[in-house]
């Protein structure tokens, strides 16, 4: 198979990516000691056919504890640190994006009782919107080629959107329309802070792994609103899983593809899937116009590398 669709370029705002294959984020620990080594690794992946390296996940607020598993984009020294990384990757001809998250803080934070959440004062909600926007601005200043806002995987934005965690009775909760207010406000303010030319990727919760009142129609409506709020590409991820099962819960591939197809019929911006698909099934989906990009976890990049060799071999024959 030639994989002509996956290996075609795609342009987001003023940024052109040479392929539609993204390497999905890992919990990177980018210290100064191993920064150059990690950057070389990313650069090699771009040479193997990865169109965009996504690293993460970077917190947008400063935490009291220094034991966090996540990166941070809260201070000017973070910008200088990341600049070294982006420069290394660009020297290799690659493109790189940073993921922004908020893991909870005091907003909708789980209390001691399972399933119960503290309600954050409204003034702090506005501070959190500002924190995402400021983090995105620092992402741009650090030389990244795009920013990805994580609105999935049970992080703060996803908690606002899900009826499992958002029990507010004010304008930030109660109905799905209200639960969208915070995620959409984040998107609008990020766009305002990064300007018109910087690409914004938004990871949306395609499927909630516990009982949630959110429907497929709700997610499609959310996707349409994100398009008008400044997002350039929608990545479909996993939603909130209140059970926190130790065993990974697999969502059938066809469910991702069905939702991607539905969303694409309503929005004019690209739609991607963050799913362990084979290159063959991803190419078939792209050829049918079901999806525009695919995120491959690191464990899949060996398969992707062999596909590059196969493609080059086909072109030379």
Backbone angles phi, psi at 10, to 5 degrees: -145, 140
DSSP 3-state helix, strand, coil percentages of the chain (rounded to 5)?
Answer: 40, 15, 45
Asked if residue 96 belongs to a domain, the reply is yes
Decide if 186 is inside a domain.
yes
Among 295, 290, 268, smallest CA distance to 12 is for 268
**Domain coverage including residue 268:** 19-24+52-60+70-275
Does 287 fall in a domain?
A: no
| Residue 234 located in a structural domain | yes
Overall domain count for the chain:
1
Distances (CA, A) of 276 to 23, 75, 115, 219, 296: 11, 34, 29, 21, 6
Predicted confidence pLDDT, tens digits, the chain (317 residues): 789 999 999 999 999 999 999 998 765 555 555 677 788 888 888 888 899 999 988 999 987 655 566 788 988 888 998 998 899 899 988 999 999 999 864 445 444 444 555 678 899 899 999 999 999 999 999 999 999 999 998 889 998 998 888 888 899 998 999 999 999 999 999 999 999 999 999 999 987 666 777 888 999 999 999 999 999 999 998 876 554 444 455 666 778 899 999 999 999 999 999 877 888 899 999 999 999 999 987 655 555 555 655 665 565 55
In a domain, 280, yes or no: no
Residue 307 lies in a domain: no
306 domain residue, yes or no: no
Q: Are strands 96-101 and 52-59 parallel, antiparallel or unpaired?
A: parallel
Torsion of Cα atoms, 265 then 266 then 267 then 271, to 10°: -50
Q: Of 281, 268, 280, 269, whose CA–CA distance to 310 is shortest? A: 280
> Is 99 inside a domain boundary?
yes
Full-prediction pTM beyond 0.85? yes
Query: Which CATH number do you get for residue 210?
Result: 3.20.20.70
């Amino acid at each position: 198979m030639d994989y002509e669709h996956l290996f075609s370029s795609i342009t987001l705002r003023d940024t052109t990516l040479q392929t539609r294959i993204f390497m999905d984020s890992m919990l990177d620990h980018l210290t100064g000691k191993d920064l150059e080594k990690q950057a070389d690794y990313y650069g090699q992946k771009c040479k193997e056919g990865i169109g965009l390296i996504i690293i993460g996940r970077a917190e947008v607020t400063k935490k009291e504890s220094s034991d966090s598993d996540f990166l941070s984009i809260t201070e000017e020294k973070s910008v200088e640190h990341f600049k070294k990384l982006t420069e290394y990757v660009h020297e290799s001809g690659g493109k790189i994006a940073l993921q922004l998250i908020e893991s909870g803080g005091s907003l909708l934070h789980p209390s001691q009782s399972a399933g119960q959440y503290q309600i954050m004062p409204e003034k702090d909600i506005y501070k959190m919107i500002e924190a995402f926007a400021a983090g995105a601005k620092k992402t741009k200043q650090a030389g990244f080629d795009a920013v990805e806002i994580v609105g999935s995987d049970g992080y703060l934005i996803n908690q606002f959107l899900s009826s499992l965690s958002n029990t507010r009775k004010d304008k930030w909760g109660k109905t799905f329309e209200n639960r969208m207010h915070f995620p959409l406000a984040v998107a609008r303010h990020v766009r305002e802070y990064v300007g018109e030319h910087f690409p914004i990727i938004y990871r949306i919760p395609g499927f909630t792994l516990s009982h949630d009142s959110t429907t497929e129609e709700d997610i499609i409506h959310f996707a349409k609103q994100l398009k008008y709020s400044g997002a350039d590409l929608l990545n479909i991820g996993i939603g909130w899983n209140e059970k926190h099962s130790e065993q990974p819960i697999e969502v059938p591939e066809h469910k991702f593809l069905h939702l991607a197809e539905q969303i694409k019929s309503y929005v004019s911006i690209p739609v991607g899937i963050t799913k362990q698909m084979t290159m063959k099934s991803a190419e078939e989906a792209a050829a049918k116009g079901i999806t525009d990009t695919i995120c491959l976890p690191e464990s899949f990049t060996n398969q992707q590398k062999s596909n590059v060799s196969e493609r080059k071999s086909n072109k030379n024959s």
